[in-house]
Amino acid sequence: MELTSLIVRGLVIFTVFAVTLLIATYSTLAERKIAGFLQDRLGPDRAGPFGILQPLADAVKLFFKEEFIPSHANKWLFIVGPSLAMLTALMSSAVIPFGNEFSIDGQLIPVQGITVNIGLLYIFGVVSLGVYGLMIGGWASNNKFSLLGAIRAASQNISYELAMGMSIIAVLMLAGSLDLRQIVIDQQDNVWNVVRQPLGCVIFITCAFAECNRTPFDLPECEQELVGGYHTEYGSMKLGLYLFSEYINMFVSSAVIATLYFGGYDVPYLSTLGLDKNIETIIGIVALFGKIFFFIFFFMWVRWTLPRFRYDQLMNLGWKSLIPLAILNLILTGGGILAWEHFTK
Amino acid sequence: MQLSNRTKKIEPKPLNFWERMYLPVIFQGLNITIKHLFKKKATIRYPEVKRELSPVFRGLHILKRDAQGRERCTACGLCALACPAEAISMLSAERTKEEKHLYREEKYAAVYEVNMLRCIFCGLCEEACPKAAIYLQKDKFAPAFFGREEVIYGKDRLVESVTNRAKVGLDQ
Ligand code: SF4
Ligand code: SF4
C-alpha cells in the first residue's frame, strides 16, 4: 500500500516534470511563431511540418556548440549560474494543482506534484531564489555588461516581489489558506478571484512579467544597452539553460496566475452537470491548461507589442505605483471582508 | 544657430494617473498587434514560391550565342575593363578554319571566368559589351556556395546551351 502510493506519487511528479519541460520546449517555438505572425511573417516552418521539430533543432545546435568558459570567469560559479536558474525554474511547478483528484480503487490521487499546505509560500520562495541564478551567472562572468545585467535583475526582482507579495496576501485573506488547492476550492465556492480582486490581478500579472524578466521588463538582458545582459559571456547549452529557464518560468507564472485569479482547474457550473468525478477532473485539467496556454500567449503577445521600460520608469512603476496600489488593494480587501461578514452574518 | 524657424520647443507634460498606469495605452497596443495575427502574411516561401522579378533584374551571367549557335564573345575585354569589382578575367585565342561554326568572330575567349563572390551584379559588363554577348539573366540567381572552387564560373557554366536558348535583354 505504502509502496503503490509512493509509485503513484512518483508517477505524478514525473508527469508534471515532463509536461513542464515539454511545454517550455514548445513555448520557444510558439514564441517565434507568434513573433512572426504578429509581425506579418510566418516564423520558422522548415523543420518538420509547421516547424514542429524546430525546438529539437535548436537544442541540437546548442549542444554542438563549443563549451566555452572565459579565462577570467570564475569557473565553478559560471557553471552553477545557469544550473541554478534551471533548477529553481523547474522546482516551482511542483506545488501547482493541475487538477482535482482522480479516484482510482477508492484511492484519491490529487493531480499535484506535492501536496503541501504552504504551496503559495513555497512558490514565492523558489521564485525569489531564481534571481540567484542570474546574479551568480552575471557576477561569475567577470564582465561589466554581465554584472550590470545581474544587478538589474536583482534590484528589479526585489522591487517587484514586494508588490507581488502584497497582492497575493489579499488572495490569502479571501481564501484563508496558503494551500493553492484551497484557494482554487475557495474560488469554486465563490467566484473567480479576478472578479473579487481586479486590481490585485493586474498588479500580480505586471509583477509576474517583471519576475520572468519578460518584455517590457526585460532590462537584465536588454541587447541594445548591455549586449546580452547577464548571459553575455554564455554560449552553447549553458546559454540554452538560461533561455529555457525563462520559458519554464513563464509556464509556471501562467499556471500561478490561472490558479490564483482565474479559478485554476475550475470550470464554472461543471459540477451541476453531474458527470463522473474522474471525467470532471480531466475536463478540469484541460481547462487549466487552456488558461495556462492563454497566459503564455499573453506573455508573448505583450512582448511583441510593448517597448522596454527605461530603468527609472521601471523603478518608479514598481515603488511608486504598484506598491501603494497593492497596499490600497490590501486595505480594500480587508474592509470588504469585514463588511461582508458584518452584513451577511 | 537655427537652420529654420520651424523648430518647436516641446515641454513634455507630466502624465496623469491613468497614463502613469500605462494600462489604456497597453490595451490599445495589444489591439493593434492582435489584428496583425490574422493579417495576410508578407512572407514568400522562397524555394517553393518565387517572387516575380522585374524585367531588368540582374541575376546570374550568361554568355549568349547568336542565331546560328556561335558564341558571340570576341574577348575584347571591355567587360573586364568596365567591371568595378574586377570579377571578370579571360584569355583570348584565334579561331581556326574548322571552328567557324563555333565562334562568330575571328578572335574568341578560350577562357572566360566570372568570380561570383567578387561580382556585385551591377550589370556594367552587360552595358559595356559591344557584341551583345554577356547578359545578366533576370530569372536565375547566383546560388549560395559551399566551396571556393565553385565560386569561379568558367565557360562551362556561363555559355548558353545550344538547345535550350535563354531569353535575355531585348528578345524577351
Ligand atoms: S555585373 Fe558588374 S561586377 Fe559583376 S561581372 Fe559584370 S561588371 Fe563585374
Ligand atoms: S563579353 Fe562582350 S565585352 Fe566581354 S569580352 Fe566578350 S565581347 Fe568583349
Rounded mean pLDDT, B66-84? 90
pLDDT in tens, B125-151: 999 999 888 988 888 888 888 888 889
B26 with A45: Cβ contact below 8 A: no
Size of interface A-B (CB pairs under 8 A): 42
Instruction: Tell if the CB–CB gap between B30 and A317 is shorter than 8 Å.
Output: no
Q: How many domains does chain A have?
A: 1
Q: Looking at residue A45, what is its pLDDT?
A: 83
pLDDT for res B171: 53
The pLDDT of A238-250, averaged and rounded, is: 86
Q: For residues B137 and B168, give the distance between their C-alpha atoms in angstroms, rounded to a whole number.
A: 6
Q: Does the structure show a pLDDT above 50 at A166? A: yes
**Directed axis angle between helix A119-140 and helix A180-189, to 10°?**
130
User: Phi-psi category of A192—alpha, beta or left, where left has phi over 0 and alpha has psi -120 to 50?
Assistant: beta
Q: Is the pLDDT of residue A149 over 50?
A: yes
Q: Using pLDDT thresholds of 50, 70 and 90, give the confidence band for residue A120.
A: confident
Q: What distance in angstroms lies between residue B140's CA and the mean position of ligand 1's atoms?
A: 15
- The pLDDT value recorded for residue B172 is 46
pLDDT at B19: 73
- To test the pocket of ligand 1, the residue of B56, B83, B115, B140 to mutate (highest count of ligand atoms within 8 Å of its CB) is B83
Ligand 1 atom with the shortest distance to the CA of B136: 1
The CA B52 to ligand 2 mean position distance, Å, reads 29
The SS3 assignment for B152 reads: strand
A328 touches B at CB < 8 Å? no
Chain A residues touching residue B34 (CB < 8 angstroms): 38, 301
Residues with Cβ within 8 Å of residue B36, at least 6 apart in sequence: A37, A38, A39, A40
Maximum Cα interatomic distance, chain A, rounded to a whole number of Å: 70
Residue nearest to atom 3 of ligand 1 (CA): B119
Distance A289 CA to ligand 2 centre (A): 68
**DSSP characters for B20-81?**
HH-HHHHHHHHHHHHHHHTSPP----TTTS-PPPPTT---SEEE-B-TTS-B------HHHH
| Whole-angstrom distance, CA of residue A238 vs CA of residue A138 | 13
In sequence order, the 6+-apart residues with CB closer than 8 A to the CB of A332 are A199
Q: Which residue is closest to A303 within chain B, CA to CA? A: B30
What's the confidence (pLDDT) of residue B78?
93
Q: Write down the pLDDT at residue A179.
A: 83
Domains in chain B, CATH or no CATH each: 61-168 (3.30.70.3270)
For residue A37, list chain B residues with Cβ-Cβ distance below 8 A.
Answer: 36-37, 41
pLDDT value of residue B170: 55
Q: What is the mean pLDDT of residues A84-92?
A: 85
DSSP state, A190? S
The percentage of chain B sitting over the pLDDT mark of 70, rounded to a whole number, equals 96
For chain B, the average pLDDT equals 85
- Flag whether residue A38 sits within 8 Å of chain B, measured between CB atoms: yes
pLDDT tens-digit series, residues A23-42: 888 888 888 888 888 888 88
- Structural domain span for residue A95: 2-343
Q: Is B39 on the interface with A (CB under 8 A)?
A: yes
Q: Is the pLDDT of residue B117 over 60?
A: yes
Instruction: Please give the grid coordinates belonging to residue B95.
Output: 579561331
Q: Are A125 and A91 in contact (CB under 8 A)?
A: no
C-alpha span between A166 and A207 (Å, rounded): 11
